[in-house]
């Protein structure tokens, strides 16, 4: 993605509002790359929720490549699990305090999301490119608990070195003597 953005097509991506046309034309499993586009140099605040049906001791370790995130808040209520509506209420209440940080929030690249709870993260989007954000339980990543964070546009990205291998065209040097 990063070194050959010209190979990317918009119909490869999806988000909470948009699904590729091929997903709507089939009853079978739909695959797409969940992408969150972020403007370069913007201040980003994310709420990550665990909407699983039961409170259990499983917390999800979420990792964002390419960034350190400030952990602004974590919450869990064992009697009233988090919902999207409840998280939006919390976010509105916090909006009055977003401009003032009186303590020094910890900076992490991996943070635990409490079971049936939430974590509020903040970072400055100053590292252009495509960055994977995913649960560190490999099975969860494999079944879709991941997304690609696109910071900036391809024109903002660092260019690949001149001789960098490319997809579909890479031919490694092979010592023919190894096969005799």
Strand partners, 55: none
Other Cβ atoms less than 10 A from the Cβ of 57: the count is 5
In three-state secondary structure terms, 97 is helix
Domains of the chain: 1-40+126-170 (no CATH), 43-124 (2.60.40.420)
pTM score, whole prediction: 0.82
Strand partners, 176: none
Cα–Cα distances in angstroms (integers) from residue 82 to residues 77, 119, 172, in the given order: 7, 11, 50
Tokens 């020094």 -> residue: 104
Instruction: Assign 3-class secondary structure to 125-162.
Output: CCCCEEEEEEECCHHHHHCCCEEEEEECCHHHCCCCCC
Residue-by-residue pLDDT tens, the chain, 180 positions: 888 888 898 888 988 888 877 777 666 677 889 999 999 999 999 999 888 776 677 889 999 999 999 999 898 887 777 888 888 888 888 775 665 566 788 999 999 999 888 999 999 999 999 999 999 988 888 888 899 999 999 999 998 898 888 887 666 677 777 766
CA distance 2 to 4: 6
CA 66 to chain CA centroid, Å, is 11
Q: Are 41 and 125 in contact (CB under 8 A)?
A: yes
Query: What does DSSP assign to residue 104?
Result: -
């Amino acid at each position: 993605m990063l070194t050959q953005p010209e190979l990317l097509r918009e119909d490869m991506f999806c988000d909470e509002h948009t699904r590729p046309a091929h997903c709507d034309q089939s009853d079978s499993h739909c695959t797409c790359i969940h992408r969150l586009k972020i403007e370069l140099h913007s201040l980003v605040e994310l709420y990550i929720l665990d909407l699983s049906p039961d409170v259990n001791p499983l917390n999800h370790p979420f990792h964002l490549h390419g960034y350190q995130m400030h952990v602004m808040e974590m919450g869990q209520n064992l009697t009233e699990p988090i919902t999207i509506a409840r998280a939006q209420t919390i976010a509105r209440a916090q909006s009055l305090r977003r401009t003032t940080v009186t303590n020094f929030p910890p900076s992490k690249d991996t943070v635990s999301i409490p079971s049936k709870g939430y974590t509020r993260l903040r970072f400055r989007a100053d590292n252009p490119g495509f960055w994977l954000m995913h649960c560190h339980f490999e099975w969860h990543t494999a079944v879709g608990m991941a997304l690609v964070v696109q910071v900036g546009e391809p024109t903002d990205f660092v260019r690949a070195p001149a001789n960098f291998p490319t997809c579909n065209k890479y031919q490694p040097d092979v010592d023919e003597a190894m096969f005799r």
